Amino acid sequence: MPLPSAILETCLSVEDIGRARDFYHGLFGYPVMAQDARFCALDVGGKQVLLLFRRGSDPEGSHLPFGFIPPHGTNGASHLGLSIPAESLADWEARLADSGIVVESRFTWPHGGTSLYFRDPDGHLLELLTPGVWPTY
């Protein structure tokens, strides 16, 4: 049996769906695939989905006409790492600065990859990573 080979969905709990949607769409250009007052699904590169759920919006889970989604969500800050090509690092630093986003940390890993750390409006720690951070990347 083949093992799962990719993470398809990542979910962040946010206070304000519109604010979070505008942040991720505006900074990264992720198109909105679906949304309502409780959640927003963003397309990440045509291969992954970033789900934004309003914090506390599903304490009993979600009953849909076609099935049940068990309750889930987080309290506090989460971490999300996003891959970028090494040659785009300076452009991303400029884009973050132009957007008024403070880079909390920048360093180069022993194998050559660089990480830029910053926060979204809900305090989630975001990381832009270039190749060379992990043996698999």
Sheet holding 125-129, edge to edge: 79-83, 125-129, 114-119, 105-108
Q: Are 6 and 45 in a shared domain?
A: yes
The answer to whether 30 and 50 have CB atoms below 8 angstroms apart is yes
Query: Which pLDDT value is given to residue 89?
Result: 97
Query: Which pLDDT value is given to residue 111?
Result: 93
Q: Are 52 and 82 in a shared domain?
A: no
| Tokens at 3, concatenated | 């093992």
Most distant CA atoms of the chain, gap in Å: 51
Domain that holds residue 136: 77-137
Nearest-angstrom CA–CA distance, 78 and 20:
14
Nearest residue to 12 via CA among 122, 129, 96, 127: 122
Query: How do residues 87-116 score in pLDDT, each as one tens digit?
Result: 999 999 999 999 999 999 999 999 999 999
List, in sequence order, every residue forming a beta bridge with 67; answer none if it has no partner: 64
Query: How do residues 3-35 score in pLDDT, each as one tens digit?
Result: 888 899 999 999 999 999 999 999 999 999 999
- pTM for this structure? 0.91
Query: How do residues 39-87 score in pLDDT, each as one tens digit?
Result: 999 999 999 999 999 998 888 888 888 999 888 878 889 999 999 999 9
Which residue in the block uniquely carries the two structure tokens 């519109």? Answer: 18
Instruction: State the total domains in the chain.
Output: 2
CATH number of the domain residue 82 falls in = 3.10.180.10
